[in-house]
């Protein structure tokens, strides 16, 4: 049986829970919350100023790798599952040495398109054959580079009963990323109730309105509790992105309507035209008006989600690829 070592990327908003929660307590899984034993050590040991004047910092940082302290049985086979965020923190020589002395393969999960600028280090590790198999959510990247396509990875998290009685028609939580003009278009429809939680907006770009919150993102589990109070989720894709996102997963896992700019959803397993509508950004206000009654209409939603996006399914794919 293949054993798995999951190297996550611990974050303040607890997004890592929704990636690996289904599998992190399995008997054949070692779950590491971050590449470093102490996440703060990554910032210190990779400081450009410190490394410039104190080169020995480069050599001691591997002492803080959480993977270094996993006891590996040389008679067993392992697959180390890393995301693009956790892989960039690990030194290439360390990984090559680890692979050379143990029966371990490295499986990379690309969480965003490879064109993202901070993927430079990831690209180098791919070119140096450190990674054995690569999965991507981005169809375009898979076609271009020959990666394994996977629609998404998502662990459905248990939600608490909401104490608040506040309900709203539409919910969005996310960073600016050039999407403000779409978000603000919904303000022109006074009959629509909403809650938009926005971050990374310049002061000059902020529009004051009830239920628009310009704050740092809250922990993911708290965001889900807010989302639970809504009738419909709003999803706005970044320009370079293809494939499905967590908004789609949230809609099908927690049975919410989805209004999205992503045309790809129409070809997905759980697409239901009664529950998912595509927003036409070329005729934005007209499209919002056409969907207004549907957004507000309260009805029973059931996508019949069967756990297809669980990381347990990813593990099965990995076993067939290695």
pLDDT digits (tens, 9 = 90+) for 80-125: 999 988 888 888 888 999 999 899 999 999 887 776 645 666 777 7
Q: Are residues 138 and 19 in the same domain?
A: yes
Put residue 178 in one of left, alpha, beta given phi > 0 → left and psi -120 to 50 → alpha: left
Tell me: the pLDDT tens digits for 113-171? 776 645 666 777 777 788 999 999 888 888 888 999 998 999 999 887 766 667 899 99
Predicted local confidence at residue 54, as pLDDT: 61
CATH number of the domain bearing residue 234: 3.40.50.2000
CA separation for the pair 19, 309 (Å, rounded): 10
Alpha-carbon dihedral angle through residues 107, 124, 237, 303, given to the nearest 10 degrees? -10
Q: In this structure, how many other beta carbons lie within 10 angstroms of the beta carbon of residue 143?
A: 11
What is the 8-class DSSP label of residue 36? B
303 lies in some domain: no
69 lies in some domain: yes
Q: Are residues 29 and 146 in the same domain?
A: yes
Q: Which residue has the tokens 């949230």?
A: 250
The pTM (predicted TM-score) of the whole model is 0.86
Q: Are residues 121 and 175 in the same domain?
A: no
Predicted local confidence at residue 270, as pLDDT: 95
Predicted local confidence at residue 219, as pLDDT: 87
User: Which residues lie across from 165 on neighbouring strands?
Assistant: none
Task: Return all residues near 231 (Cβ < 8 A) that are at least 6 apart.
Answer: 167, 168, 169, 170, 256, 257, 295, 296, 297, 298
Q: Are residues 210 and 253 in the same domain?
A: yes
Predicted local confidence at residue 298, as pLDDT: 94
Predicted local confidence at residue 320, as pLDDT: 92
Q: Are residues 211 and 85 in the same domain?
A: no
With pLDDT > 70 as the criterion, what percentage of the chain qualifies? 88
Whether the Cβ atoms of residue 32 and residue 7 lie closer than 8 Å to each other: yes
Tell me: the pLDDT tens digits for 30-83? 999 888 887 676 666 666 666 666 666 666 788 889 999 999 999 999 999 999
227 lies in some domain: yes
Predicted local confidence at residue 117, as pLDDT: 45
Q: Give the Å distances, CA to CA, from 88 to 17, 24, 84, 111.
A: 20, 21, 6, 13
Q: In this structure, how many other beta carbons lie within 10 angstroms of the beta carbon of residue 295?
A: 21
Which residue in 46, 33, 134, 38 sits closest to 89, CA to CA? Answer: 46
Q: Are residues 237 and 141 in the same domain?
A: no
CATH number of the domain bearing residue 107: 3.40.50
Predicted local confidence at residue 48, as pLDDT: 64
Predicted local confidence at residue 307, as pLDDT: 94
User: Which residues lie across from 198 on neighbouring strands?
Assistant: 174, 214
161 lies in some domain: no
Tally of structural domains, the chain = 2
Q: Give the Å distances, CA to CA, from 73 to 76, 144, 319.
A: 5, 37, 18
CA atoms within 13 A on the CB side of 152: 23
Q: Are residues 8 and 146 in the same domain?
A: yes
CA atoms within 13 A on the CB side of 308: 15
Q: What are phi and psi of 293, to 5 degrees?
A: -60, -40
Predicted local confidence at residue 217, as pLDDT: 79
Helix H or strand E encompassing 15 = helix 15-20
92 lies in some domain: yes
Q: Are residues 152 and 10 in the same domain?
A: yes
Q: Are residues 206 and 122 in the same domain?
A: no
pLDDT surpassing 80 at residue 300: yes
Helix H or strand E encompassing 6 = strand 3-7
265 lies in some domain: yes
Which residue in 44, 87, 85 sits closest to 67, CA to CA? Answer: 87
pLDDT band at 2 (very low <50, low <70, confident <90, very high): very high
Whether the Cβ atoms of residue 229 and residue 247 lie closer than 8 Å to each other: no
Interior CA angle at 65 toward 61 and 69, to 5°? 130
CA separation for the pair 54, 44 (Å, rounded): 12
Q: Which two tokens stand for residue 24?
A: 């992190």
Tell me: the pLDDT tens digits for 193-246? 999 998 877 777 788 877 888 877 788 888 999 999 999 999 998 766 667 889
Q: Are residues 116 and 188 in the same domain?
A: no
230 lies in some domain: yes
CA separation for the pair 264, 281 (Å, rounded): 15
Q: Are residues 174 and 200 in the same domain?
A: yes
Q: Are residues 130 and 175 in the same domain?
A: no
Owning domain of residue 144: 3-156+310-321
301 lies in some domain: no
Predicted local confidence at residue 193, as pLDDT: 94
pLDDT band at 23 (very low <50, low <70, confident <90, very high): very high
């Amino acid at each position: 049986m293949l054993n798995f070592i999951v190297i996550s990327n611990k974050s303040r908003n607890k997004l890592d829970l929704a990636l690996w929660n289904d599998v992190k307590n399995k008997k054949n899984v070692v779950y590491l919350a971050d590449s470093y034993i102490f996440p703060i050590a990554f910032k210190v040991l990779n400081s450009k100023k410190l490394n410039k004047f104190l080169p020995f910092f480069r050599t001691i940082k591997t002492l803080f790798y959480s993977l270094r302290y996993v006891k590996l049985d040389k008679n067993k086979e392992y697959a180390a599952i890393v995301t693009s965020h956790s892989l960039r923190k690990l030194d290439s020589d360390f990984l090559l040495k680890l692979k050379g002395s143990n029966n371990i393969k490295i499986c990379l999960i690309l969480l965003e398109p490879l064109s993202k600028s901070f993927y430079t280090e990831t690209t180098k590790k791919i070119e140096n054959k450190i990674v054995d198999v690569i999965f991507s959510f981005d169809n375009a990247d898979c076609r271009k580079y020959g990666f394994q396509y996977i629609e998404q990875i998502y662990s459905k998290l248990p939600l608490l009963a909401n104490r608040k009685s506040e309900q709203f028609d539409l919910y969005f939580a996310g960073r600016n990323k050039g999407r403000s003009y779409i978000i603000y278009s919904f303000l022109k429809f006074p009959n629509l109730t909403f809650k938009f939680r926005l971050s990374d907006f310049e002061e000059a770009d902020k529009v004051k309105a009830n239920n628009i919150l310009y704050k740092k993102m809250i922990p993911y589990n708290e965001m889900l509790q807010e989302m639970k109070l809504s009738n419909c989720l709003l999803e706005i894709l970044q320009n370079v992105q293809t494939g499905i996102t967590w908004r789609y997963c949230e809609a099908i896992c927690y049975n919410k309507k989805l209004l999205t700019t992503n045309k790809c959803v129409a070809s997905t397993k759980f697409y239901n035209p009664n529950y998912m509508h595509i927003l036409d950004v070329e005729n934005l206000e007209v499209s919002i008006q056409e969907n207004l009654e549907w957004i507000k209409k309260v009805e029973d939603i059931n996508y019949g989600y069967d756990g297809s996006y669980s990381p347990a399914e990813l593990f099965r794919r990995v076993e067939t690829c290695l």
